[in-house]
């Protein structure tokens, strides 16, 4: 009799757990983020300074979207000097739509999507990033995900989200209504250096990658 009662209790517990898991999955895939989630990117606070080895920060300012979208949040611009040249870094925190970096380049930087000769690069443990020339400058752009690797496409962003974006802590905060079931936040970054000599393209790209490595390491600990 006791064995039968225990079997029924165990089946009931298993059914309860399975129902809970199914409910979580349905919510994570089909329920839209609540208003608090949608507004979270707007309260992201940028620091006044971000140190880069070998460079002196000379200015920081807010940058409004060039496309006139009132719903879009301001970007933060950091300008550095190393006595021989200047470098500009534009950053914008994205909560749910950081997957398509080409779209963000157009939407936030007014850089056309179709006319660019973009090279996609990958570094172990860091992830993907774009390198390209536009407007007498060389640029590096990517989205630094809070967890996992950088991504530049929706496919990479989604893959990273499902591979790295869940944790027991994340799920607990989701149950409390403080987080999404998967972590989707990322810092869109555009690093730019003026150039007047196309023969130095590879050298300029190396400078971008070195600077971005410093920027990435600093932010990865702060996001």
Q: Do residues 91 and 191 share a domain?
A: yes
Q: How far is residue 150's CA from residue 56's CA, in Å, rounded to a whole number?
A: 26
Q: Do residues 68 and 110 share a domain?
A: yes
Query: Across 3-7, 17-21, 112-116, 148-152, which has the greatest mean pLDDT?
Result: 148-152
What is the SS3 assignment for 63? strand
Q: Do residues 44 and 144 share a domain?
A: yes
- Name the nearest CA neighbour of 133 among 80, 183, 38, 201: 201
What predicted TM-score, i.e. pTM, was given to this entire model? 0.75
pLDDT tens digits along 67-120: 556 567 889 999 999 988 999 999 999 877 767 899 899 888 888 877 788 999
Q: How many domains is the chain partitioned into structurally?
A: 2
Q: Do residues 64 and 15 share a domain?
A: no
Q: Do residues 6 and 42 share a domain?
A: no
Q: How far is residue 176's CA from residue 50's CA, in Å, rounded to a whole number?
A: 32
Q: Are 75 and 47 in contact (CB under 8 A)?
A: no
DSSP state of 151: B
How distant is the alpha carbon of residue 123 from its chain centre?
A: 16
Q: Do residues 27 and 108 share a domain?
A: no
Q: Do residues 8 and 93 share a domain?
A: no
Q: Do residues 61 and 8 share a domain?
A: no
The predicted model gives 126-131 an average pLDDT of 95
Q: Do residues 112 and 189 share a domain?
A: yes
Q: Do residues 124 and 213 share a domain?
A: yes
The predicted model gives 107-136 an average pLDDT of 88
**CA-angle at 144, arms to 136 and 127, nearest 5°:** 90
Q: Do residues 2 and 111 share a domain?
A: no
Q: Do residues 11 and 40 share a domain?
A: no
How distant is the alpha carbon of residue 135 from its chain centre?
A: 24
pLDDT of residue 36: 42
What is the SS3 assignment for 143? strand
Element (H, E) at 29: helix 2-30
Q: Are 134 and 113 in contact (CB under 8 A)?
A: no
Residue-range definition of the domain harbouring residue 189: 33-220
pLDDT tens digits along 12-65: 556 545 655 565 555 555 444 444 444 444 468 899 999 999 999 999 999 887
pLDDT of residue 61: 94
């Amino acid at each position: 009799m006791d064995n039968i009662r225990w079997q029924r209790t165990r089946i009931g517990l298993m059914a309860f757990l399975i129902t809970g898991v199914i409910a979580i999955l349905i919510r994570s895939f089909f329920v839209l983020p609540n208003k608090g989630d949608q507004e979270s990117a707007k309260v992201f606070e940028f620091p006044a300074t971000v140190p880069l080895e070998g460079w002196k920060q000379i200015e920081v300012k807010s940058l409004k979207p060039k496309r006139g979208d009132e719903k879009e949040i301001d970007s933060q611009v950091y300008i550095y000097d190393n006595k021989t040249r200047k470098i500009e870094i534009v950053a914008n925190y994205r909560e749910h739509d950081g997957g398509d970096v080409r779209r963000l380049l157009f939407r936030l930087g007014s850089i056309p999507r179709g006319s660019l000769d973009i090279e996609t690069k990958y570094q172990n443990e860091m992830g993907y990033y774009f390198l390209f020339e536009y407007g007498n400058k060389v640029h590096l752009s990517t989205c630094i995900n809070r967890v996992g690797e950088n991504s530049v496409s929706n496919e990479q962003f989604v893959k990273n989200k499902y591979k790295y974006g869940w944790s027991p802590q994340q799920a607990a905060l989701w149950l409390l209504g403080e987080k999404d079931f998967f972590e989707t936040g990322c810092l869109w970054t555009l690093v730019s250096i003026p150039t007047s000599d196309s023969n130095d393209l590879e050298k300029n790209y190396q400078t971008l990658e070195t600077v971005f490595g410093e920027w990435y390491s600093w932010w990865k600990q702060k996001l």
